[in-house]
Structure 1
């Protein structure tokens, strides 16, 4: 069976990574979480004092980009590939609300996007890949055979994210999570370099009221149509 490229874009906390992982496992494809790559760079910037609530020294981050190596290693126990920064697993560290507060600012830096897009294109050069993010169908793989654009209300997305963080043991409030979702939506949609937008040939999926099983069945049907 021929291999295709599946690009899944959408706003934060729309469940892109969840359905992408399901598809990759079902199809035996490589899964690449590009959001995790931007989170890794953000966490690096935070650890080095380049960004916090009061300032962002983008020039220092850009100067340090050549010292950053991001990789993914499949974890049989959890069933998906986890992200590593310079050989150190940081999967848990990058999923905090604090990282979420700054990741859209880091992702708006053209030099950061350029470097990560090159890596992403290399990862998917042989097809057989499911990649999710903000600009996969528009910039990284504009010729992808299947493009999905996932949406949901900000309130629904914030509730999902809030529940995830609480389950992990993080101390957060729903109001803070909702504000983060809305702030990221604005920054992602208004940045000059590769703003979040739906590709002309992408299929929109509103999963505000879909459970995970129904969502996966609908997406898998779209995938199978590409193989018909």
Structure 2
């Protein structure tokens, strides 16, 4: 890990497969630490949503690059959470559908999209005091992050969580098809050409299949606070 001392704290990277609970954990951990939550997954989902609306082929790199350059993506605090704003529109719910999830996996694998968002993500997190979650934060976006986690769970458990979430929203889905989509998303993420999903060599791997949210949070919070203490010593 990097020995540098950032102005506002450490950079925390949380990677892992779809449905592992990264978004929920990141939001809660950021609130406990007083850190900024940069949801990189929401950024890619936003690009996917706008590509769909503008009928852009997910394999059309030129059009995708132009789209990324034109989009204004930002996060607006909302209590302990946040809203995702794209070109002035709140797309927080629109980017969370199953259709956009699958499209995001394809679009996020395109090199121009990753390059455009990579620069923005690094700029947002350079001073520290941030938590970023995604699939390649600790391996590509911030390989020098002071704290790295790889949060996972069995495909069956992740599918079950996603199923309950969708049912609560009133969507007509089955547990079997939801688990199948999780498995398909895993395959896409692991086999994509650019920045495939993998656990960084220096990441702390956490399997949340049998753990509660609070148990995962306690592990992560203790790890981050211990690293912050070491950074403060270095800073002095």
Q: Does the TM-score normalized on the shorter chain lie above 0.5?
A: yes
Check if 1:67 corresponds to 2:70: yes
Q: Name 1:118's counterpart in structure 2.
A: 119
Residue 103 of structure 1, CA deviation = 0.9
Q: 1:25 maps to which residue?
A: 31
Q: Offset of 1:224 from its aligned partner? A: 2.3
Query: Displacement, 1:60?
Result: 2.7
Name the counterpart of 2:232. none
Contact 1:50 1:58 in 2 (8 A): no
* 5, 28, 31: which one aligns with 2:11: 5
Equivalences, count: 223
- What TM-score does the superposition give when structure 2 sets the normalisation length? 0.90
The one-character-per-residue Cα deviations of 1:61-105 (angstroms, maximum 9, x if unpaired) are 2333222111110012xx212111111100000011111121100
- Give the deviation of 1:175 after TM superposition: 2.3
Q: Which residue of 2 aligns with 1:132?
A: 133
Displacement of 1:57 after TM fit? 4.1
How far apart, in 1, do the equivalents of 2:64 and 2:30 lie?
Answer: 32
Asked whether the equivalents of residues 20 and 31 of structure 1 are also in contact (C-alpha less than 8 Å), the reply is yes
Normalising by the residue count of structure 1, what TM-score does the alignment of the two structures yield? 0.93
Return the offset for 1:225: 2.1
Q: What is residue 189 of structure 1 aligned with on the other side?
A: 190
* Partner SS state of residue 159, structure 1: helix
The answer to whether the 8 A contact 1:8-1:132 is kept is: yes
* Shift of residue 187, structure 1, vs aligned partner: 1.2
Aligned match of 1:206: 207
Unaligned runs of 5+ in 2: 1-6, 230-236
Question: C-alpha separation between the residues in 1 aligned to 2:138 and 2:70?
Answer: 28
For 2:175 and 2:100, locate their aligned partners in 1 and report how far apart those are by CA, in whole Å.
Answer: 16
Write out the 4+ residue segments of structure 1 that deviate beyond 3 Å after TM superposition: 55-59
RMSD after superposition:
1.6
